[in-house]
Each structure stands twice: as C-alpha cells, then as structure tokens.
Chains A and B, each alone.
Chain A
Amino acid sequence: MEVKKAAMAGTLESSDAQVTVEPGNGKIELSIESSVIHQFGKQIKATILETLNRLDVTDAKVTVVDKGALDCTLKARVECAVYRSNDITENLPWGGVIK
C-alpha cells in the first residue's frame, strides 16, 4: 500500500504509541523513540516492520514514539496511520492484512 500523505495515529499517553507515516524516498526509514528502547527496542522494531510488510508498505518514513505500548497497540497504531494516509475507514480487511 502506498503512503499517500502524512498521517498520524496514537497518543503520548502511557501504554500507547504515536506513529507518524509520511511518503518516503524509495525505502522504509524507521525512527523509534522509546522509554524502554534498551529492553524492547528490537521487538518494537520487528513488530513495526512486520506490520508494514503485511500492509505491503515499502516506501515510507515512519516515526514511532513509544510509551510502553504492547505489540497489539503498536500494530493498531501503524495500521491506523497507514490507512489514514489513504483516507480509508471502511470495509477494512480485518483478519486479512490486518491481523
């Protein structure tokens, strides 16, 4: 899926993550800021990249500010930001590429 315009999802509240996606320069550029980066940095990165991969996003600048979000929240925020960048809010592929 193409990231057509800048879009954001999530908040800076505890247990949440704020994810911003912007049109990229031919690849995924991922920036992660997290209070638990030393313990969970690898896992956070893997979850974000897997989610982008499932959505077939290959060209985007992705910024994540993590506040201790569970994996399920990270996925939810990435998916929401990507679909918002395409103005899609209905007939979503629950259980398909969103899983």
Chain B
Amino acid sequence: MSHPYKKRLRRSMMFLNCQKPGLIKDPYIYKPDSIMLDLEDAVAENQKDAARYSLYHALQEIDYRGVERVVRINGLDTPHWKEDIRVCVAGGADTIRIAKTESAQDVHVVEEHVLAAEREFGRPEGSTLLMSALESCKGVLNALEICKSSDRLIGIALSGGDYTKDLQTTITGTGVELQGARQQMIIAARAAGVQCWDTVFTNLDAMDVFEEEVKMIKMMGFDGKSLVNPRQIAIVHKIFTPTQKEIIFAEKVVKEIDEKKALGIGVFTVDGKMIDIAFYDGAKRTIDLAKASGVYEGDL
C-alpha cells in the first residue's frame, strides 16, 4: 500500500544547516511545507558527527508542527551516508533526500540500508520516504529509472549548482542552462507518477527574478522548489496556490462535466470557454491543490 503522505503538498522545501542549532530550533514559524535538514554540503567535513547528534535530538524533541522533516544525507561516494541513514531512521525523519543520485541502483542501495535501520530501531517497515536529488548529467538522463526505482520515492529534485558544473557551464540567471534538465525531469516524474522540485535560487537581492523563476517552473509543471531562505516561502506559496477565480472556474468545470455526462453531452462551454472531459483532471487537481493549501471552502 502506498504511504499516506507520499503525495502531500510540497511547494516549499527549505534547507537548514544541521550544524547550526539556531537554525533548526524553530523553522516552523515560517510555515514551509517541508524543511530539509542538511547533513551534506552545508556541514563542514569535521562537523559531520556533531550535526548528527543535533539532528537526532531535533527530530526527537522539537515539535515541527506538521512541517515535513526531510533530511539530506551525504552522497554514496562519502564515508558518511550509512551513519546518516541510521540517525535519520532512529530519529524518525519523514523523508531522506539522497544527494547526487545517478541511477535506480543508488536508490536501491539507500533503500536497503533504510530497511535495515527500520528493523534495527523498531520503526514500521516502509515508513521512511525517499527523494532523489539529481546533480549530474548522468542523473538527469536516468531520471525516469530513478523515478520508478522505489515505492518509497516521492520525487526528484534538481540540484542546479552541481549539475551546471557537470554540464561545464554556470548558473547564468537566464535559466537557459537548466532548460533541458528541467524539461527532462518533469516529464520523467509525471510519467512515473511522482513529484518534481526545482533547484534553489541563491541571490537574495533579486527577489523579482526569483518570483519570475517560480512562475516559470509552476507553468512547466513542477510541484515546488528547494529554498534557502524563509523570505522565499511566501512568494512560492502565493504562486503555487490557486486563486479564487481559478478555484471557482475549476469547480464549475467539475460540476458541469459530471452533470453533462449524465445527460449524454460531451462538449459544452463554461464562462465562454469550450470544455470537454480532457479538462476534468486538471480542474480536479486545482481543487485538490486548493484544499491542500487550505483555501478551499466549497463542497467538492
């Protein structure tokens, strides 16, 4: 049976450095959908052990008030990931973010150790979800097999910094260097029925550019974005939450299609727009997103 939270709302996934107690003690006040407690790049090499103790106690003792607790573990090419998995599972992390995923095999290796840890620490088998960060050309090309690799996998996230390094370019601010990866990843994720998140935007002095980027990735089909600063959360939520106008139109579409179907009518107009069954799933998705975002007051 699929995990009940596999498809929960994940518009905003905010990174927090586990090395810094001041950052991980109360991030729920900013109301992100998910926090990503980082054991990887943000943590200095000689502080990997210290970050794990902080992580364990934070997971066990801090009430994150419904915010999903994702932990980014160190890559499979490091000596750290096995102990990272043990502490995540022992602490009761909701989801593990696998850094630098390049193949389905990488997910299988992590899954095997997660299962062993669930048995060791008495957690229900299958309770720990996984997500994969794609950070290389190989990873992006293997997006579909990664998306289909495990029942635990909730989705894939682009990691633009490492990816553009592998592509032998840089983050230019135009988005042109990320076009191929974004397109490939969202198509793969949808084909496999999992979620997909865009890379971080690190220039906090260019909030207008950030907003344009969020609008673009929403149009492309992404579920949300990895974030580095609480100031980015409200912008993402505003853009990813359906407007009242969109909700009302979606309601009409769903109701009209249901009614017209009973009358044997396949195509008709709603507010001057031609509507047929092809619009049904999209309208339902808008309603579902509105419900999940807490802005739906209708009866569907």
Interface residues of A (CB under 8 A from B): 9-10, 13-16, 69-73, 75-77, 79-80, 83-84, 89-92, 94-95, 98-99
Contact = CB atoms under 8 A, between A and B. Distances in A.
B22 A80 contact: no
Contacts of B25: 15, 70, 73
Band of interface residues on B: 20 to 34
Interface stretch (B80-88, B99-107, B146-154, B165-173): B80-88
Interface string B70-95: 00000000000011001100110000
B57 A73 contact: yes
Given A69-B21, A70-B25, A94 B86 contact: yes
Interface string B3-32: 000000000000000001110010000000
Contacts of A91: 83, 86
Contacts of B49: 80, 83-84, 89
Interface in B48-71: 48-50, 52-54, 56-58, 60-62
A92 B83 contact: yes
A88 B57 CA distance: 18
Given A76-B50, A76-B56, A80-B50, A94 B21 contact: no
Contacts of A79: 53
Contacts of B57: 72-73, 75-76
A75 B56 CA distance: 10
Interface of B: 20-22, 25, 48-50, 52-54, 56-58, 60-62, 82-83, 86-87, 90-91, 121
A31 to B, nearest CB: 21
B56 A10 contact: no
B61 A72 contact: yes
B86 A16 contact: no
B84 to A, nearest CB: 11
Given A90-B83, A92-B86, A98 B53 contact: yes
B20 A94 contact: no
A92 B53 CA distance: 10
B50 to A, nearest CB: 5
